[in-house]
């Protein structure tokens, strides 16, 4: 079996890492294609180095841009590589434009597609990610569902049960593997002047939040209220796009500890010891659930409903009073939920399914 792992964003690198490591362990024939959807490959090299991954064999350096232009450029570049390499299966992860481009390119060339983290739904078609994940699911040959709920969604949508595999989520593998690496690195706590359990952490970067003045202003005001209520530092690593909008909207961030974007291992360390995390990131919702850290989601919906079901997460939207109320409510609970995303062996299961099918 020859596999192509197609990725283009940092979350995809994180979640594909366990699959790449399993291919290495079994000495399976594979290669990595990096589209450069959010960053240039050169900017992501440090990510590969930190996670101790081999360099990508191909990089397209497409960069950010309008959805149509970005998807079209990736489609052209991916098709060229796939025609040259002729892998047996293409693996894509999640719901980005890279996923959509990789799936379409493979489907048109008659190459089998494996969609990692299949079956997630927010049922909000205004989100580009929702369109990407639905289309990728319905042209894939191997749908690797992270939970029982996501598996049932796929079956209810008419996808053949024999193509659906409930394997868990590679985020569990990634958190466990990478936290070990992170804890061998320099500690971030001294640098930021905080103590474990005595600070909160926030992220907000989604287009529908930071590009909308009312929503972003609500988030910032909500974070300030939370910080004032709890009386401990609230650390907010600000993504370049978000920083631009903060300045453009002239939002008041007094009381918040704004810091530069962090590398993944540093962020993972901070995340694992936070009293509370407030975020609009899907991946962070999962990671906090696995780490036993309460989470408030700054969105009106989520494609990670399992986090709501087990009680690790609560939806707050972007209105300041609701954000404060959610923070107080979830922080009062004891973190005794059960992780619904698997046992940390998802990468192994995915590669075993493929080896069995192609042997």
Measured distance between the N- and C-terminal CA atoms of the chain, rounded to whole angstroms = 7
Residues 92-133 have pLDDT tens digits of 999 999 999 999 999 999 999 999 999 999 999 988 899 999
Catalytic, 115? Answer no
The pLDDT assigned to 185 comes to 67
Q: Whose CA is closest to 268, among 169, 173, 176? A: 176
**pLDDT at residue 346, rounded to an integer:** 98
**What is the DSSP track for 244-303?**
HHHHHHT---TT-EEE----HHHHHHHHHH-SEEEES-HHHHHHHHHHT--EEE-SS--S
- Sheet of strand 276-279, all strands in order from the earlier edge strand to the far edge: 257-259, 234-237, 200-203, 276-279, 295-297, 313-315
Cβ–Cβ < 8 Å for 310, 292: no
Number of C-beta neighbours around residue 297 at 10 A: 26
- The band of 334, judged by pLDDT with boundaries at 50, 70 and 90, is confident
Q: pTM of whole model > 0.85?
A: yes
The two structure tokens encoding residue 302: 């989520």
Q: Where are the domains of the chain?
A: 2-169+342-358, 188-331
User: Among the listed ranges 183-187, 285-289, 322-326, which one has the minimum average pLDDT value?
Assistant: 183-187
Of 3-7, 158-162, 165-169, 174-178, the one with minimum mean pLDDT is 174-178
d(C-alpha 293, C-alpha 89), whole Å: 36
Mean pLDDT of 224-252: 95
What digits encode the pLDDT tens for the residues 188-204? 898 899 999 999 999 99
**Can you name the CATH fold of 2-169+342-358?**
Rossmann fold (3.40.50)
pLDDT for position 160: 97
**45-57 pLDDT, tens digit each:** 888 988 989 999 9
The reported pLDDT for the residue numbered 323 is 98
What is the distance between the alpha carbons of residues 252 and 256, in angstroms, rounded to a whole number? 9
- The confidence band for 12, taking pLDDT boundaries of 50, 70 and 90, is very high
Name the band, by pLDDT with cuts 50, 70 and 90, for residue 23: very high
Was domain 188-331 assigned CATH 3.40.50.2000? yes
Q: What is the mean pLDDT of the chain?
A: 94
Among 115, 138, 205, 239, which one carries the catalytic annotation?
205
Alpha helices per DSSP H over the chain? 10-26, 41-50, 67-85, 97-108, 128-138, 148-156, 170-182, 189-192, 207-210, 213-230, 240-249, 264-273, 282-291, 305-310, 320-331, 346-358
Would you say residue 63 has pLDDT above 90? no
Residue 53 has what pLDDT?
Answer: 94
**Among 47, 10, 65, 46, which Cα is nearest to 283's?**
10
Confidence at 150, pLDDT banded by 50, 70, 90: very high
In contact, 161 and 142? CB cutoff 8 Å? no
Q: Kindly indicate the confidence band of residue 165, based on its pLDDT and cuts at 50, 70 and 90.
A: very high
Q: Rounded to whole angstroms, how far apart are CA atoms 221 and 216?
A: 9
Q: State how far the Cα of 140 lies from the Cα of 142, in Å rounded to an integer.
A: 6
Q: Which of 244, 236, 283, 280 is nearest to 261 (CA)?
A: 236
């Amino acid at each position: 079996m020859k596999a192509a792992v197609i990725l283009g964003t940092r979350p995809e690198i994180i979640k594909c890492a366990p699959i790449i490591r399993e291919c290495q362990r079994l000495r399976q024939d594979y290669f990595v294609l990096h589209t450069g959807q959010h960053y240039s490959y050169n900017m992501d090299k440090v990510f590969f180095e930190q996670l101790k991954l081999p360099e990508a064999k191909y990089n397209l350096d497409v960069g950010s841009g309008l959805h149509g232009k970005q998807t079209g450029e990736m489609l052209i570049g991916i098709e060229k590589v796939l025609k040259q390499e002729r892998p047996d299966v293409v693996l894509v992860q999640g719901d980005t434009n890279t996923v959509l481009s990789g799936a379409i390119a493979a489907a048109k060339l008659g190459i089998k597609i494996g969609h990692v983290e299949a079956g997630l739904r927010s049922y909000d078609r205004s989100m580009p990610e929702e369109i990407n994940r639905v289309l990728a699911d319905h042209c894939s040959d191997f749908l690797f569902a992270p939970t029982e709920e996501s598996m049932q969604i796929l079956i209810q949508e008419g996808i053949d049960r024999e193509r659906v595999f409930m394997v868990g989520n590679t985020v569990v593998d990634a958190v466990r593997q990478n936290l070990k690496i992170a804890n061998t690195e320099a500690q971030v706590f001294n640098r930021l002047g905080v103590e474990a359990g005595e600070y909160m952490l926030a992220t907000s970067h989604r287009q529908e939040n930071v590009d909308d003045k009312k929503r972003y202003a609500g988030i910032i005001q909500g974070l300030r209220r939370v910080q004032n209520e709890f009386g401990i530092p609230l650390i907010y690593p600000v993504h370049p796009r978000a920083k631009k909008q903060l300045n453009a909207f002239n939002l008041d961030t007094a009381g918040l500890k704004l810091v530069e974007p962090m590398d993944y291992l540093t962020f993972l360390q901070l995340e694992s010891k936070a009293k509370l995390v407030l975020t609009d990131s899907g991946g962070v919702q999962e990671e906090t659930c696995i780490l036993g850290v309460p989470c408030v989601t700054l969105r009106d919906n989520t494609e990670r409903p399992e986090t709501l079901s087990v009680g690790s997460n609560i939806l707050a939207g972007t209105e300041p009073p609701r954000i404060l109320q959610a923070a107080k409510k979830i922080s009062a609970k004891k973190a005794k939920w059960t992780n619904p995303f698997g046992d940390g062996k998802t990468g192994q299961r995915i590669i075993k399914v493929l080896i069995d099918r192609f042997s």
